[in-house]
Amino acid sequence: MRTEQLATGERPKAEAARRPQISERSLIWMMALLMALNAFGIDSILPALDNLANALGAEGNSRQFIVGAYLICAGIGALVPGSFADRYGRRPVLFVGLGVYIALSIACSLATDFITLVVLRAIQGFGAAAIIALPPAIIRDRVGGDKMARMMSLIFVIFLIVPAIAPTIGQGILEIAGNWRWIFAAMAAAGVVMAIWVYTSLPETLHEDDRVPIRLPVIVRNMRHSLTLRETIGYTLGSALVFGGLFGFINSSQQLIGEAFNAGDLFPLIFAMCAGAMSIANWSNSRIVERFGARRVSHAALFIFIAVAAAQLWFANQPDESLWTFVPLMAANMALLGFIGANFGSIAMEPFKHIAGAASSAQSFLRLTTGAGLGALIGFMYDGTARPLATALLITAVLSLIFVLFSEKGELFGEPRPEAQ
């Protein structure tokens, strides 16, 4: 009979001695900053899209492919690392993902035409999917239930600091170095720093008895189970839809703020305000989720999200919509995502402790491909106004509610759930 891993992450003494131990606080920071590499890889380049498009001959909305290609291929690539991490452990697969992120950041900095850069970004997103898909599995190795939701909320608090400041960093690099290529060099440097930290500080969290052989039928069975279980699939699809609206904002934000509202100089500040609102909401969620439960908090936030999205659509259809109505409402909905994202993700991972890698990969694949595909479509529908974005936010939120109702069999606001083993 195996010795069970404790919820705190403790291991049998002989095994624990072979790896460094890591505190909960350090683990939260590490997982947040790993995930933030992707946010930095997306958001830091936004202020340079005009320069990049002019330098490489990209026209119109096609500049958005620099973001969309990365996101979509990261979603597809998320199918790969989980099963390997369930067999070989979390650490080796993380290092592969970090290596790809670093190498392709350098390659992107050397691209000489737009098509090549888009292809390199697609490969980078696919190969670096491990740094998106594995952090939830690593946390699930240690805890579950509403405690996992609390830890994931804290991770998102830190993670969201990066998109809040990334455009400002990108703008600063652009002004100091005078060339968008140095932004990709900064991505590579950040990847190197994270690789060193993971190597020196992260213990292997996968228990030996939970290792799953690399056999296609086993992998398919585990992934199918994680995507077809009624009590979780609605949350996976629901989060994919609402984050599709967020990705739509990211794709079109530079054009929307710079062209529709003539506030291009304020873009880094506005983007930071919206991301900062989401970060504050995640911190608030971490303080209340174990008391009220992930379901109660996220369900309430989803209803409010729908109401705010309806207000956004109403203002977007007015002939004189201003920046000062758009920004507060967009920030409010991004804040509400802070009460939805971590909670939906934690609920979706609850039943899958012993196949956490495969489950995280499959769910990340569905979330990212659906969300990125919707985001690219929303961004490409940009027509010089906020109407396409506002319409999409409302539709995706209503559909998300329908999927959650399916998973919960029509009964919302469930009781708090204790830490799951």
Domain encompassing residue 55: 22-204+225-407
H helices then E strands: how many in the chain? Answer: 19, 0
Note whether residue 8 is domain-resident: no
Note whether residue 2 is domain-resident: no
Note whether residue 183 is domain-resident: yes
Domains: count for the chain: 1
Quick one: pLDDT at residue 134? 86
Contact 258, 386 (CB under 8 A): no
- Does residue 14 have a pLDDT over 50? no
CA distances from 16 to 29, 152, 205 (A): 21, 24, 10
Note whether residue 314 is domain-resident: yes
Please write down the long-range contacts of 178-181, taking CB distance under 8 Å and 24 or more positions apart.
Answer: 180/45, 180/48, 180/51, 180/52, 180/55, 181/109, 181/110
389 Cβ contact list (under 8 Å, min separation 6): 245, 248, 249, 252, 256, 312, 316, 378, 382
Note whether residue 216 is domain-resident: no
Note whether residue 12 is domain-resident: no
Q: DSSP letter string over 169-186?
A: HHHHHHHHHSSTHHHHHH
CATH, residue 157: 1.20.1250.20
3 — pLDDT class (breaks 50, 70, 90): very low
Q: Give the separation between CA 325 and CA 191, rounded to whole angstroms.
A: 38
Note whether residue 255 is domain-resident: yes
Q: pLDDT tens digits, residue range 178-230?
A: 888 999 999 999 999 999 999 998 888 887 777 777 777 877 888 888 888 88
* Max avg pLDDT among 75-89, 308-322, 366-380: 308-322
What is the mean pLDDT of the segment spanning 94-104?
94
Q: What is the pTM of this model?
A: 0.71
Quick one: pLDDT at residue 1? 33
Contact 340, 214 (CB under 8 A): no
Note whether residue 150 is domain-resident: yes
